[in-house]
Amino acid sequence: MALRNGDGVKIFLGLWIAAVIYCMFLVVPQYVGLGDAGRIIIVHVPVAWITSAAFLLSAIYSIIYLWKRNTISDVAAVAAAEVGMLYCLFATITGSIFAEVVWGTFWNWDPRETSILVLLLIYAAYFALRSSVDDNERRRRLAAVYNIFAAVTMPFLLFVAPRIADSTLHPNCAFLQGSKCEGVALNLGDTKISQLGDVVVELKSLTKTDTLTQATIEVRMPGMKNVATLVPSLDSEGKPADRPEFPGQQFRMVLLEADASAGTVRVNMQAPGTNLLSNPRTLWVFLASNLGFFGLAFWLYHIRRTILQVQQVLNPGEMSI
Amino acid sequence: MIDPQIWRATRAIFVREWRSELRNRQALNAVALFAICSVVTVSLGLGPLMRSTDVALVHAAFLWIVLLFAAFTALSRVFVVEEEQRTAAALRLASPPIAVYLGKLCFNLVLLLGLTVLVTILAIVLLNIRVGATDLLIGMLLAGSLALVAGTTLVAAIIARSSSRGALFAVLSLPILIPMLVTAVRGTALAFAGVSWERGMAPIQTLLAYAVAMFVASLFLFATVWE
């Protein structure tokens, strides 16, 4: 009976996720400025969220293990970490594909890319630690300690370090209403790629007259299809004057600071707010995707946990993961 | 209020570590030579860097890479030696876990601060680094060293109880240290570039917050590793 119920859940999950994928390509409208590549966020964002949730669950079970010293909590921590690792890989791959299509590079050491890579490294280290301790009880104890210790670094990784960086490819400042994002600093002759939101920007020239300071900035839109030159400016009092619009988008470029002698400027993107989920079809598919991938994660976790428990019962003294 | 016995035991362990180290100078010699070789190699390989906007960041990154790997060589020894010489059991009986942790942490901190002074002076001389804000650099290196020691001492205790000690220390420590390393490199670059304290305070505050978080977590978890 239980097996039949399990089969039913498996088939239901398969159909649900197939429907989400179908809707992602054929029902959700194109996101302005990102084209078809924007559809991948229907999968990428839920998978990244569930990665964090799975690792958090693993850390919670590690705390419970140290508190109660019951094997079942350790098994649950391992199963959650394994599911988190799988989803983390999936989030990294889908994110890299998206980055290649819209930004022209698979990897650019964006703070959020760095965060997810560190998550992968932490849990790879967690499994490496587990495999290098022979004694079962000591292995569980040390792995739980490391899991909790690594979880303490997460707020620094996810919230502090990205905010110290100058720019991020992820639209976490430019696209959020009321954001206090400080924009991006550009230098004349910079060899490094700079981004503003998801647009690649490069300072070409900087001229100053009595009334106006004008920066000539080359912008490459997502997908590298549209390259344009924008000339934002500051008036004699240092306030933004011209705010040119990005080609094909509703966002404007604003010049915040300019130092003509040093050849440096600070520019930002003025955005009206986030619009992606304001489309009801996109919103519903996104929610369905969250549910589907959450269900899949729970199912994988449940299966793995059961297998590990059975292993523990059959070979209690033998070293397992 | 912390029991004064804990302080006495902590001090005793700290003194014991230094006595033991000064007797054979294994860690001191190995780490000092490693640091000198690393900076000389970087200096030889890099040559005189052109003055560009990124040079401060490149210098800061090299400085912290050398410090990190020298720390990997030195900081894991405090607990590994106890297991190798089979003195860990005696130490467990003689001192409370918290005193063991604090004594070893203080030893590691003093060792790393000495190493930081050596590496920084060598790097400034050999790489011809221009330091724009010396006081900010000192603050950044102090905060960075605190964060590095707070993040690695517990990991050193963990790997001492595993079978593959040497390689595992770097594998376990590096992911945990990345947030502080990113911050320390950017902060040190700001100090080299000579920015004001107002702009340089954010990385120092982040490093200190990281050090406090890791220190508190270690205090809670160490007894479990040490049992």
Distance from CA of A314 to the nearest CA of B (A): 25
- A160 contacts B224? CB cut-off 8 A: no
Higher pLDDT, B55 or A274: B55
Residues A261-289: pLDDT tens digits?
Answer: 888 888 877 654 345 666 778 888 889 99
φ, ψ for residue B53, nearest 5 deg: -70, -25
What is the rounded distance in angstroms from the CA atom of residue A74 to the CA atom of residue A78? 6
Nearest to B139 by CA among B209, B72, B207: B207
What is the rounded distance in angstroms from the CA atom of residue B222 to the CA atom of residue B225? 5
Q: Token pair 């500051």 is at which residue?
A: A234
- Split at pLDDT 50, 70, 90, the class of B143 is very high
Q: Are residues A10 and A123 in the same domain?
A: yes
Q: What is the pLDDT of residue A34?
A: 62
Q: Token pair 């079978």 is at which residue?
A: B163
- A142 contacts B161? CB cut-off 8 A: yes
Q: Is A173 among the domain residues? A: no
What is the rounded distance in angstroms from the CA atom of residue B172 to the CA atom of residue B131? 33
Higher pLDDT, A237 or B145: B145
Q: What is the pLDDT of residue A240?
A: 80
The model's pTM? 0.77
- State whether residue A35 is helix, strand or coil: strand
- Split at pLDDT 50, 70, 90, the class of A163 is low
Nearest neighbour of B202 by CB, restricted to A145, A156, A164: A164
What is the rounded distance in angstroms from the CA atom of residue A175 to the CA atom of residue A37? 18
Q: Which residue of B has its CA nearest to A135?
A: B162
Burial readout B126-146 (b: 16 or more C-beta within 10 A, e: otherwise): ebebebebeebbebbbebbbb
SS3 sequence of A104-161: CCCCCCCHHHHHHHHHHHHHHHHHHHHHCCCCHHHHHHHHHHHHHHHHHHHHHHHHHH
Name which of A20-34, A232-246, B192-206 the model is least confident about: A20-34
Q: Is A296 among the domain residues? A: yes
Neighbours of A286 (CB within 10 A): 22
CA distances from A245 to A32, A231, A303 (A): 14, 10, 52
Question: In this predicted complex, what is the ipTM?
Answer: 0.87
Higher pLDDT, A238 or B176: B176
Give the single-character DSSP code of A39: G
Q: Is A113 among the domain residues? A: yes
Mean pLDDT of B162-190: 86
Q: Which residue of A has its CA nearest to B209?
A: A156
- Split at pLDDT 50, 70, 90, the class of A174 is very low
Q: What is the pLDDT of residue B73?
A: 80
What is the rounded distance in angstroms from the CA atom of residue A80 to the CA atom of residue A236? 59
Neighbours of A44 (CB within 10 A): 20
- A190 contacts B210? CB cut-off 8 A: no
Query: What's the mean per-residue pLDDT of chain B?
Result: 86
- Specify the number of domains making up chain A: 2
Name which of A181-185, A257-261, A262-266 the model is least confident about: A181-185
What is the rounded distance in angstroms from the CA atom of residue A193 to the CA atom of residue A187? 11
Residues A59-96: pLDDT tens digits?
Answer: 999 999 999 998 899 999 999 999 999 999 999 999 88
Distance from CA of B55 to the nearest CA of A (A): 12
CA distances from B53 to A194, A216, B49 (A): 14, 20, 11
- Which of A129, A147, A167 is the best residue to mutate to test the B interface, defined by the most B CB atoms within 10 Å of its own CB? A129
Query: What's the mean per-residue pLDDT of chain A?
Result: 80
What is the rounded distance in angstroms from the CA atom of residue A284 to the CA atom of residue A271? 24
- Give me A32's structure tokens: 């302005």
CA distances from A41 to A95, A169, B69, B205 (A): 8, 14, 38, 35
The answer to whether residue A134 scores a pLDDT higher than 80 is yes
Q: Are residues A286 and A256 in the same domain?
A: no
The answer to whether residue A170 scores a pLDDT higher than 70 is no
CA distances from B92 to B88, B98, B224 (A): 6, 11, 12
Q: Are residues A153 and A208 in the same domain?
A: no
Distance from CA of A317 to the nearest CA of B (A): 18
Q: Are residues A12 and A65 in the same domain?
A: yes
Cβ atoms of residues A16 and A295 within 8 Å = yes
- Specify the number of domains making up chain B: 1
Nearest to B207 by CA among B148, B143, B137: B143
Chain A residues with CB under 8 Å of B203 CB are: 164
Q: Hey, is the C-beta of B51 within 8 angstroms of any chain A C-beta?
A: no
The answer to whether residue A196 scores a pLDDT higher than 80 is no
Q: What is the pLDDT of residue B116?
A: 92
Q: Are residues A160 and A228 in the same domain?
A: no
CA distances from B66 to A146, A285, B105 (A): 25, 49, 21
Q: What is the pLDDT of residue A104?
A: 67
The answer to whether residue A179 scores a pLDDT higher than 60 is no
Higher pLDDT, A127 or A170: A127
Q: Which residue of A has its CA nearest to B206?
A: A160
Q: What is the pLDDT of residue B71?
A: 84
- Split at pLDDT 50, 70, 90, the class of A197 is low
Q: Are residues A23 and A136 in the same domain?
A: yes
Q: Do the bridges between strand A264-270 and strand A184-187 make them parallel or antiparallel, or are there none, so unpaired?
A: antiparallel
Higher pLDDT, A160 or B21: B21
Distance from CA of B163 to the nearest CA of A (A): 6
Nearest neighbour of B225 by CB, restricted to A145, A152, A156: A145
Cβ atoms of residues A293 and A17 within 8 Å = yes
Q: Is A246 among the domain residues? A: yes
Q: Is A321 among the domain residues? A: no
- Which residues between 171 and 210 in chain B have a beta carbon less than 8 angstroms from any beta carbon of chain A? 171-172, 174-176, 178-180, 182-183, 186, 202-203, 206, 209-210
Q: Is A177 among the domain residues? A: no
- Which residues between 16 and 45 in chain B have a beta carbon less than 8 angstroms from any beta carbon of chain A? none
Q: Is A319 among the domain residues? A: no
Greatest distance between any 2 Cα atoms in chain B: 58
- Which of B53, B58, B169, B190 is the best residue to mutate to test the A interface, defined by the most A CB atoms within 10 Å of its own CB? B53
Q: Which residue of B has its CA nearest to A158?
A: B179
- Split at pLDDT 50, 70, 90, the class of A172 is very low
- B154 contacts A164? CB cut-off 8 A: no
Percent of chain B with pLDDT over 70: 95
Give the single-character DSSP code of A321: -
The answer to whether residue A225 scores a pLDDT higher than 70 is no
- A122 contacts B180? CB cut-off 8 A: no
- Give me B44's structure tokens: 């030889």
Q: Is A320 among the domain residues? A: no
The answer to whether residue B75 scores a pLDDT higher than 70 is yes
Cβ atoms of residues A179 and A253 within 8 Å = no
Give the structural domain span for A32. 2-168+280-314
Give the single-character DSSP code of A82: H
Q: Token pair 């098994």 is at which residue?
A: A75
Q: Are residues A244 and A285 in the same domain?
A: no
